[in-house]
Amino acid sequence: MEPKTLSEAEVARWFEESFPADDFAGRRVLLIVPDATRTAPLPLLFRQIHRRLAERVAKLDVLVALGTHPPMSEQSIRDLLGIPAGDPRYAGVGLFNHEWQRRERLMEVGRLTEEETDAISGGLLRMEVPITVNARLRDYDVALVVGPVFPHEVVGFSGGNKYFFPGISGPELLNFFHWLGALITNVGIIGKKHTPVRAVVDRAAQRLPIERRCVAFVVSPGNELYGLFYGTPESAWDRAADLSARVHIRWCDRPFELVISCAPPMYDELWVAGKCMYKLEPVVADGGELIIYAPHLKEISVTHGALIERVGYHVRDYFTKQWDRFRDIPWGVLAHSTHVRGAGTFENGVEKPRIRVTLASQIPREVCERINLGYRDPASIDVDAYANREDEGILVVRKAGEQLYRLRESAVPQ
């Protein structure tokens, strides 16, 4: 039974009772928040945090944890946070994007040693990895993460210290742990609480030269709050992940031959719309088809599109068995590629994906064929005609990307 969602009055009461604003008194505080590709009631939460902290702290600014996503305009950040135009109450709040690609905007805070990466990864990867983050952290006393927790294809469950890595990190650690997640595979890691990648993220966060606090939360598809949790990024995330496991995982009694996974408008490029595959791959039958239905989508990736078009979408072993060809491609790009393409084999030069992945978007057929995905004209798909046909082996998910679909153990082929 799902828990009920919180009213605005209940959220306000939670902040009064569970968010110790006096702990921030006189300090310089940097809020770290997600961008617009996550379902999150940030206007409500930012309003409560600002109300509680603005008169107590020495400084209160906001940094958007973009990872490698495109930067947001100042007006888009204001809209994200619900800051009214010209409202004098927010005049002193600085609004910043993370800039992962600008070396001068990053600082190194330590390194993961070869011994650490070997131990954490169970021997999958052994290498020294520099830990770099947004250099703005130098200007603050406390970093306050405010972000949702969902099942996640690379880390297991998102949130917590993931808002530092990759949220405001440099590329080295990002590439390392995304590839580690890809080696383990999406199905092998998504929706699992304690994973090697989570261990990497938490270990790296311990090197940060700043106090870390977190408001982790769990939301409904309709952007209502199921729960809020405050503490360190580790402790707040721990409790939020337990709740996410209850409300964000849908258990299915059978696999489906056809899944139509509808991308919401907030996924405006395939780089993020790939989540429509990640969250549904576990319930697609062998040889079945998953359609990412995204009539609004025009881009593969603003940041990484050229590299993705060069590499294409392939199963993991396509890369690992031809590693000399691909080792110099950013590993985060390779991880995205294999996550979107899903499980499969590569033997004697022949690639055999477990399922078919089809893109129904504004990306043309010739591009889809070049990047090794199927193509459908979205105008040819009447989503309503496929709805409510689970008994026929057809599943439609209207807002895909955040709810994880899994087979019950009794439904998994042996």
The one-letter amino acid at 46: F
- Per the listing, tokens 């064929």 go with 369
Task: Give CA–CA dist 406/43, Å, rounded.
Answer: 32
CA 351 to chain centre: 28
* Whether the Cβ atoms of residue 126 and residue 106 lie closer than 8 Å to each other: no
Cβ neighbours for 250, distance < 8 A, ≥ 6 positions apart: 403, 404, 405, 406
Give whole-number Cα distances, 322 to 157, 187, 315, 325, 347, in Å: 30, 22, 12, 6, 11
Task: Give CA–CA dist 194/165, Å, rounded.
Answer: 16
Burial 179-198 (b: 16+ CB within 10 A, else e): bbbbbbbbbebbbbeebbbb
Q: Where are the domains of the chain?
A: 8-247, 250-411
> What six digits make up the tokens of 343?
């499980």
DSSP 5: P
State in words which class domain 250-411 has: alpha beta
**What is the pLDDT, as a whole number, of residue 342?**
97
DSSP 166: T
Cβ neighbours for 414, distance < 8 A, ≥ 6 positions apart: none
DSSP 71: P
Whether the bond between 166 and the residue before it is cis, its omega within 30 degrees of 0, is: yes
pTM of the model: 0.94
Which three-class secondary structure state does DSSP give residue 263?
coil
CA 342 to chain centre: 17
**What is the pLDDT, as a whole number, of residue 387?**
97
Residues of the chain below pLDDT 70: 1-2, 410-414
**What is the pLDDT, as a whole number, of residue 411?**
62
Task: Give CA–CA dist 387/397, Å, rounded.
Answer: 9
The dotted CATH code for 8-247 is 3.40.50.11440
Q: Give the pLDDT confidence of 57-79 residue by residue, as tens digits.
A: 999 999 999 999 899 999 999 99
DSSP 394: E
> What six digits make up the tokens of 205?
């966060």
**What is the pLDDT, as a whole number, of residue 58?**
97
Cβ neighbours for 363, distance < 8 A, ≥ 6 positions apart: 270, 297, 298, 299, 300
